[in-house]
Amino acid sequence: MLVTTVTRNSETFSADAALALFELPFLELIYKAQTVHRAHHLANAVQLSTLLSIKTGACSEDCAYCPQSRHHDTGLEPERLAELEAVVGAAKAAREQGAQRFCMGAAWRSPTERQLDHVIEMVEAVKALGMETCVTLGMLKPGQAQRLREAGLDYYNHNLDTSPEFYGNIITTRTYQDRLDTLEAVREAGIKVCCGGIVGLGESRRERAGLIAQLANLDPYPESVPINNLVRVAGTPLEDVPPVDEFEFVRTIAVARIAMPKAVLRLSAGRTEMSDTMQALCFMAGANSIFYGDALLTTANPQQERDKALMQRLGLHVMDGDGGATTCAVENESAGAPQRDALPA
């Protein structure tokens, strides 16, 4: 059963409806997803984000997938909150490489007011560079979302991770409702929501359908939806979980696109284990954003040169701030500007 103690869309998208889409023939599902995608987005535009860990490790939560949890022996060395100068330097480097959004992640259960003071300085400094800002800091206390909004924060990331039914298998130190409450506070403060989940935790297809239904029924559904492919880290309880089938992951992207037509769908963690062909299928299924850079919090991310080469091979170009497309920052200058796809009237 879906959690109902949070505002929903008037037209609900059921887990059964999501499951029915999962069970379509693969090519039919991809066709449907691409049709929906083209009705709401430029077909070949991709949004680029960079993610920086501003405080690493020693997290009190027991998320079974996370190497930053102090409950797991992964050999990760904790790091204190980053200095403002280092964060601004990383943001400048990301901007020079073509990233439009700079995301900052801190391994906290919930920030203190003093910790939030430092993060607010970072948000203001990155905004001053002309970049979109996003933070993920854990649960927010009353008034903290408003403080972040006043600092100019564009997006707050707080993932649901999985369906309500499977959630207890993954984390016990924070309830599903805790996550929904933080999302509600973010919405009420006027900050855009970045919220998605993880595929490959050991969940069933129905439970994947349940996650997508839960996301789609938030009112409104998230503007930004990261879909992570589990990175199996030695020392975590999920280190030996079998990888999800590649076509099943692509199906998840496609169902998410159909369920949330206007959202930006981001290929997030786990791209190092994806072939170029698999990533191309994900773009065909409706993914239109990637984390761009050499590191993703504490796990590897495809190197920028590989991303540049793939975008060139696929004819993809960079989405502008309004959701349109600009000439790809990674395009070979001699190739000329790509044609802009027009949105349907």
Q: Which residues are catalytic?
A: 59, 63, 66, 103, 134, 194, 266
H or E element at residue 45: strand 45-55
H or E element at residue 291: strand 289-291
Cβ 23 vs Cβ 244: under 8 Å: no
Cβ 123 vs Cβ 144: under 8 Å: no
Dihedral class, residue 241 (left if φ above 0, else alpha if ψ from -120 to 50, else beta): beta
Contact residues for 31 (Cβ-Cβ < 8 A; gap 6+): none
- Cα(30)–Cα(52) distance, rounded to whole angstroms? 32
Give me the sign of the Cα torsion angle 81, 85, 88, 89: negative
DSSP 161: B
Q: Name the CA dihedral angle for 192, 168, 216, 279, rounded to a multiple of 10 degrees.
A: 80
Q: What is the CA radius of gyration of the chain?
A: 19
Which tokens hold the place of 283?
A: 């773009």
Count CB neighbours of 333 within 10 A. 7
